[in-house]
Structure 1
Amino acid sequence: MVVNKRFPLPPTPYAHPTAWNSSIKPEPLHAIFARQTQAQPLAVLAEFLGREFTYRQLFAEAQQFAAGLLSRGIGKGDRVGLFLPNVPAYISAYYGAMMAGAVVVNFSPLYSAEELSDQVEDSGTRLLVTLDAPALLPTAVEVLDRSSLEMLAVIGLADMLPRLKGLALRTLGRKQLAKMPKRPDVSRWTEWLSDAAPELPDAAASDLALLQYTGGTTGTPKGAMLTHANLSSNAIQIDMLDPFDRSDPDIVMGALPLFHVFANTCVLNRTVVRGGKIVMLPRFDAGQVLAAITRSQPKAFPGVPTMFQALVDHPDFAATDWTSLKVCISGGAPMPGPLREKFEAATGVPLVEGYGLTESSGVVSSNPYDGLRKPGSIGQPLPATQILLLDKEDATSLAPDGEPGELAVRGPQVMGGYWNRAEAAASEFAEHNGERWLRTGDVATIDADGYMAIVDRIKDMIAVGGFKVFPSQVEAVLLQHPAVKEALVIGRPDDYQGERPAAYITLATDAAASGEELKEWLNTRIGKHERVAEVVIRDELPKTMIGKLDRKALRAEVLPA
């Protein structure tokens, strides 16, 4: 394979339909939402479990939420957290907070109370918006009591369902709803919606819009600071990849969780940029997705490899009507070749692999939707995105001729830094010829056609079905057990999830515990996506020459070559 050092590589043909050097005009995200609402107020933005929500409805609710925030003293620069699954009110809360000048902080519904508390404290989140679901509201209340969080706004699930479904949930399905605590710092979502018309703060594309937590290269979660310019640019860049007839209805399958940067950009913001519709599901369920594809006829389906594997394995897969789909986009983790081949053969729909990271607002590159796709490749960079390969051992130098290097990125979607972590941000960037490049931690090649492939990675993060698991966090919890002396967590290959965490430990002197006991103890104290497949007890763990636990040596020892 030819290994080049950067992209663009003249005279490399650009495979995407929009020119690589296209100009991009960033805007505040809520300004784009306002423009689309004015252009097509009655168009459907979200279809949710049989109920449709128009642009005008959700924009009006966002305005009401902005007014409610400002009336309670939450405004410019304040942080508003979203601890939500996919529900239509997520859209109102997201854009409404931005209208008020606030900064959105996305929190995964999979977080434990401890994880959520840590990130609430780090971000300085004042208000947390959540759902009256048993898996969410009790955790949010616990965080309210153990952190500096000031208030909860609780969305009612029944309020977003079709009338009869909502009535049935309120009367017959009460066990599926969490009881609202009677306390002044917990209010219903509707109490935060105000019909007042306050003066909204001025907004600039350079304003901070979102704190999206990620592990970076250190494994310690940090808030990537994404501006309106970063997010709107990436949404516009992704829309530029679409080669299909723009007069056709733009309908996207919304099964990815919106709190994840992949969905936040590719499903929500890109759809609003385009004026399209999201077929929204509260969570991924293979059967529900297949039924929604047949019923709602989406044009595109962004997902992670585990989703496509689950669809292939489902008994309704063969009976699903795939004719509306133009493209399926896979990201978040490497796409196994056999899965891609099986999916495409059965559906006739291209399954296109792309690549991105939180620090780049979601997406860096993609194979073309309609054109040359290379198996195992992450494609060419998005418009206005530059790529450079750095020396794997010395980020101040370029990769040696003919060798892979650490992938570095420049573009309008790249973050400015980490929240309150100037030193961490500095280590994530490299300077070359007076330019600032984001280091990805992934080792890549660029071939003669300008297509990239990830061949290794520097980061220790484990990719579990599109989510990132930070080994150091799981190890820290495991070391709280009195029987555990040392611990290392690595990712092991998994046919379904891509990777699963596995823990390797040594026992404290005179301690007695089995691996199964430790596994059960650990998995009740961490997020669902972090749960380990196994705890292996060993006499010793590999160490470096200075006595530091050596994760790299453990991987080499226990993983297949």
Structure 2
Amino acid sequence: MDSRSRFRQLLDEAPTDAEAIEFEEQWRTWGDLQSIDRTLDAWLTANGFPDGARVGIVLENRPEHVGVLVSLIARNRCIVTLSGLQPPRRLSHDIQRAELPVVVGTRVALAGEGVMEAVGDAAVLELSVDGVREVKGLGEVRPSDSSPGVIVEMLTSGTTGPPKRVLIRERQFDTAITSSVPAPPTDTLFRRGVTMVVTPLVHIGGFWGALGPLYAGRRVCLMRKFELEPWVRAVERHRPRATGLVPALLRTILTEKVPAEKLRSIEVVTTGTTACPPEMIDQFLEVYGIRVLPTYGATEFAGAVAYWTKTMHEKWWTSKAGSAGRAIPGVTLRVADDDGVDLGQGRSGRLEIRTAQSPVGPDEWLRTSDLAMIDADGFLWIQGRADDAIVRGGFKVHPDTVRKVLESHPAVGEAAVAPLPDDRLGQVPVAAVELTDDAVVDDPSELVKELLVRCREQLLPYEVPVHVSVLPELPRTPSSKVSRVELLESVARDMKRAIAV
């Protein structure tokens, strides 16, 4: 059963009192989602929106937003994601760029400064727990604006600059969802169990985190964001065997010393969005007896293309710690040179991927921006990003190389490196560090001196950062990746203060 048919089945056949999504410790039912679907589909149909019509949704982590996603998929329309986490000015800019015929959002999201002006001639539907209502009708926009065969136009996370919009087509969507969750049961609509979702729905991880379980017939516990105590209570309430957390949240659990007995139901945690330090994975296993399973993927591939399973982890982790795992079934990986020639096992180059989840189709190799190596056992090792290279006066600096040296200092919990524009050299590397919770640093400037000495000892001269900032926390995107844009802004401010002193 394809995704559109499955979600249509659930909306048409699920009992109205069947539990669907727990939110703030209260259950929303399939009847609530059906109400969203009825009002939204009725308005779109009455206003002439055809199959494939593009509908913008200002996404927040709330059950009614999941209801909109399910409805648009089921009724053959195209989701256009807009981040409700960003400031109104940036949201307004995204709405203008998207050139949408209709925008759906909550009253609060739509009330942001400049948002209603940004929609132009588009219609605006206000979303509540009961459904949608029109607050602004169609102007001269043509409802025929559509993307046939596209399920979602999704923004990437924007860690390296303005977010890009990625089209995920029906083939990609169906392949990704069927490879990540069990097939729907054939003798009933639902399965037992609850899946916990803390990642923002506007991010590919949160998007799949909510839709995948519903497709498979499971219930979802949806949280606005990760907050430690509510999350621990939910784990104790639902007793999940598996869950997903990004590395920053794993670190929070460890540093806050959550008692192991509170997490005893969990056997595995999947983690992605950014590399998870092997030392943290080892520590999590030692403290909680829980295996942390890294995944590797991208929005362009509609999710993960490489992963660790529990069985693989038990057999291989000791010798393969730091690897991104092996290709998931149906995915082929290779490493190629600049001319696209396969380099074979054990050699470093650009990672290329062939899969039905790819936007170019299942038979073509798609080159990524990642530098990688695939070993003799088929394990993928990500070695940085080709487009992350900082070109300093003609010399290439790989941020990951610098990051590892900075993080080798015992006071540094996490580091990030970014390119700062330079009139003479083109770019120069700058860095920021976040301290460990138990670090005692009386004078940050002395720590910076120590870090620069360490860099000079372990790096080539052109790899040494021109400036290192000590920050209370590294700035992050909603998906918990380090935001390079905000990082550069913080470092630039710090550099100006240093010059002024």
Give the TM-score normalised by structure 2.
0.70
Contact 2:60-2:85 within 8 A present in 1 as well: no
**Aligned counterparts, 1:54-69, within 5 A:** 54-69=29-44
Are residue 376 (structure 1) and residue 319 (structure 2) matched? no
Which has the larger displacement, 47-56 or 80-89?
47-56
Shift of 1:334: 0.4
Residue 206 of structure 2 aligns with an amino acid whose one-letter code is: A
Match of 1:386 among 314, 328, 332: 332
Residue 149 of structure 2 aligns with an amino acid whose one-letter code is: D
Contact 1:251-1:276 within 8 A present in 2 as well: yes
Shift of 1:349: 2.0
Are residue 415 (structure 1) and residue 359 (structure 2) matched? yes
Residue 531 of structure 1 aligns with an amino acid whose one-letter code is: E
Task: For 1:261 and 1:64, locate their aligned partners in 2 and report how far apart those are by CA, in whole Å.
Answer: 26
| Structure 2 match to 1:558 | none
| Structure 1 match to 2:6 | 32
Task: For 1:335 and 1:454, locate their aligned partners in 2 and report how far apart those are by CA, in whole Å.
Answer: 12
Are residue 296 (structure 1) and residue 238 (structure 2) matched? yes
| Structure 2 match to 1:440 | 368
Q: 1:121 to 1:37 in 2, by over 3 A?
A: closer
Q: Secondary structure, in 3 states, of the residue corresponding to 2:168?
A: strand
Q: Secondary structure, in 3 states, of the residue corresponding to 1:321?
A: helix
Residue 6 of structure 2 aligns with an amino acid whose one-letter code is: I
- Deviations 1:278-317 (Å, cap 9, x if unpaired)? 11111121222112111222232112111111222235x1
Over the residues paired in the alignment, what is the CA RMSD in angstroms? 4.2
**Aligned counterparts, 1:484-523, within 5 A:** 492=432, 494=434
Residue 30 of structure 1 aligns with an amino acid whose one-letter code is: R
Task: For 1:390 and 1:534, locate their aligned partners in 2 and report how far apart those are by CA, in whole Å.
Answer: 35
Shift of 1:218: 8.6
**Aligned counterparts, 1:335-350, within 5 A:** 335-350=276-291
Match of 1:534 among 483, 487, 491: 491
Task: For 1:491 and 1:68, locate their aligned partners in 2 and report how far apart those are by CA, in whole Å.
Answer: 51
**Aligned counterparts, 1:156-305, within 5 A:** 156=128, 159=129, 189-191=131-133, 207-214=149-156, 219=161, 221-239=163-181, 249-265=192-208, 267-305=209-247
Q: 1:352 to 1:236 in 2, by over 3 A?
A: same
Match of 1:143 among 92, 103, 115: 115
Task: For 2:264 and 2:253, locate their aligned partners in 1 and report how far apart those are by CA, in whole Å.
Answer: 16
| Structure 2 match to 1:406 | 350
Q: Which has the higher helix share?
A: 2
Contact 1:312-1:343 within 8 A present in 2 as well: yes
Task: For 2:229 and 2:216, locate their aligned partners in 1 and report how far apart those are by CA, in whole Å.
Answer: 28
Task: For 2:57 and 2:417, locate their aligned partners in 1 and report how far apart those are by CA, in whole Å.
Answer: 22
| Structure 1 match to 2:90 | 115
Q: Secondary structure, in 3 states, of the residue corresponding to 2:378?
A: coil
Task: For 2:160 and 2:339, locate their aligned partners in 1 and report how far apart those are by CA, in whole Å.
Answer: 16
Q: 1:93 to 1:152 in 2, by over 3 A?
A: same
Q: Secondary structure, in 3 states, of the residue corresponding to 1:353?
A: strand
- Of structures 1 and 2, the one with the larger relative CO (CA 8 A, separation 6+) is 1
| Structure 2 match to 1:324 | 265
Q: Secondary structure, in 3 states, of the residue corresponding to 2:43?
A: helix
| Structure 2 match to 1:502 | none
Residue 357 of structure 2 aligns with an amino acid whose one-letter code is: Q
Task: For 2:311 and 2:345, locate their aligned partners in 1 and report how far apart those are by CA, in whole Å.
Answer: 32
Which has the larger displacement, 342-351 or 33-42?
33-42
Shift of 1:456: 2.0
Task: For 1:384 and 1:227, locate their aligned partners in 2 and report how far apart those are by CA, in whole Å.
Answer: 17
Q: Give the count of matched residue pairs.
A: 411
Shift of 1:36: 4.4
Shift of 1:318: 1.0
| Structure 2 match to 1:51 | 26
Task: For 2:133 and 2:266, locate their aligned partners in 1 and report how far apart those are by CA, in whole Å.
Answer: 40
Residue 123 of structure 1 aligns with an amino acid whose one-letter code is: A
Q: 1:65 to 1:437 in 2, by over 3 A?
A: same
Task: For 1:211 and 1:408, locate their aligned partners in 2 and report how far apart those are by CA, in whole Å.
Answer: 23
- Deviations 1:461-493 (Å, cap 9, x if unpaired)? 999xxxxx9979x98xxx9xxxxxx98786656
Task: For 2:201 and 2:369, locate their aligned partners in 1 and report how far apart those are by CA, in whole Å.
Answer: 25
- Deviations 1:112-165 (Å, cap 9, x if unpaired)? 3343233323322232222344xx3443x5132135362333334xx58xxxxx
Are residue 154 (structure 1) and residue 101 (structure 2) matched? no
Q: Secondary structure, in 3 states, of the residue corresponding to 1:399?
A: coil
Are residue 101 (structure 1) and residue 76 (structure 2) matched? yes
Contact 1:230-1:414 within 8 A present in 2 as well: yes
Contact 1:219-1:471 within 8 A present in 2 as well: no
Task: For 2:267 and 2:31, locate their aligned partners in 1 and report how far apart those are by CA, in whole Å.
Answer: 28
Residue 66 of structure 2 aligns with an amino acid whose one-letter code is: I
Contact 1:84-1:109 within 8 A present in 2 as well: yes
Shift of 1:229: 2.1
Residue 86 of structure 2 aligns with an amino acid whose one-letter code is: Y
Task: For 1:383 and 1:236, locate their aligned partners in 2 and report how far apart those are by CA, in whole Å.
Answer: 11
- Deviations 1:504-540 (Å, cap 9, x if unpaired)? xxxxxxxxxxx9xxx9xxx9xx9995533422548xx
Residue 145 of structure 1 aligns with an amino acid whose one-letter code is: E
Q: Secondary structure, in 3 states, of the residue corresponding to 1:370?
A: helix
Contact 1:367-1:373 within 8 A present in 2 as well: no
**Aligned counterparts, 1:447-486, within 5 A:** 447-460=375-388
Contact 2:155-2:202 within 8 A present in 1 as well: no
Task: For 1:148 and 1:261, locate their aligned partners in 2 and report how far apart those are by CA, in whole Å.
Answer: 28
In the alignment, structure 1 segments of 5+ residues that lack a partner are 1-24, 161-188, 194-204, 242-246, 418-433, 464-468, 480-485, 497-514, 539-561
Task: For 1:208 and 1:273, locate their aligned partners in 2 and report how far apart those are by CA, in whole Å.
Answer: 18
Contact 1:236-1:273 within 8 A present in 2 as well: no
Task: For 1:303 and 1:142, locate their aligned partners in 2 and report how far apart those are by CA, in whole Å.
Answer: 34
Contact 1:257-1:263 within 8 A present in 2 as well: yes
